[in-house]
Copies of this chain bind each other. A is one copy, B any other.
Amino acid sequence: MKTIKLRDKLIEKGLKVTPQRIAILEAVHKLNSHPTAEKIFDFVRKDHPNISMATVYKVLDALVANGLLSKVKSEKDSMRYDAVTDKHHHLYSSDSEDIADYYNDEINKILSDYFKEHNITDFEIEDVRLQIIGKFKNRN
């Protein structure tokens, strides 16, 4: 994604356009592997040597709050960030910290049809996500 488009997205949300925000947003798009805040920090620091970890967290929070990024919990301890904000599910490795996006409109339809017919007592569903746990094959 172009910087110009990222700028527009920030403006659209009423967020100030700062070099740090552009850099972090770009970083999450480039590091397309659900990076941790630390990974993002390391990446961004190449071009912005003075950026602080606190800024990375603050910017990520702002971007998540405005729907420009999304946040996933790893099986271990850290939050992971995702440039993809469309509806999607996640594949979690049961033996490593790998996470992959999983798109499947067919399963989305099955789930949404199912829950349209079957309410959950005293609960108003906003979103249904799958956590698919297993092993990645053919990985180096």
Instruction: Let me know if A126 and B91 touch, CB within 8 A.
Output: no
Beta-carbon contact of A131 and B132 below 8 Å: no
Residues of A within 8 A of B (CB): 73, 75, 91, 94, 100, 102, 104, 106-107, 110-111, 114, 118, 120, 122-139
Complex: how many Å from CA A93 to CA B64?
18
Cβ contacts under 8 Å, A137 to chain B:
122-124
The CA-CA distance from A133 to B128 in the complex, in Å, is 6
Residues of B within 8 A of A75 (CB): 73
Asked whether, in the complex, the Cβ of B123 is within 8 Å of the Cβ of A132, the reply is yes
Per DSSP, are chain A's interface residues mostly helix, strand or loop, or mixed? strand
A sample of 8 cross-chain residue pairs with beta-carbon separation below 8 angstroms, ordered by A number, consists of: A94-B126, A123-B134, A125-B132, A126-B134, A127-B132, A129-B130, A129-B131, A130-B131
Q: Is the CB of A123 within 8 A of B135?
A: yes
Minimum CB distance partner of A74 in chain B = B73
A107: B residues at CB distance < 8 A:
114
| Residues from chain B with Cβ under 8 Å of A134 in the complex | 123-127
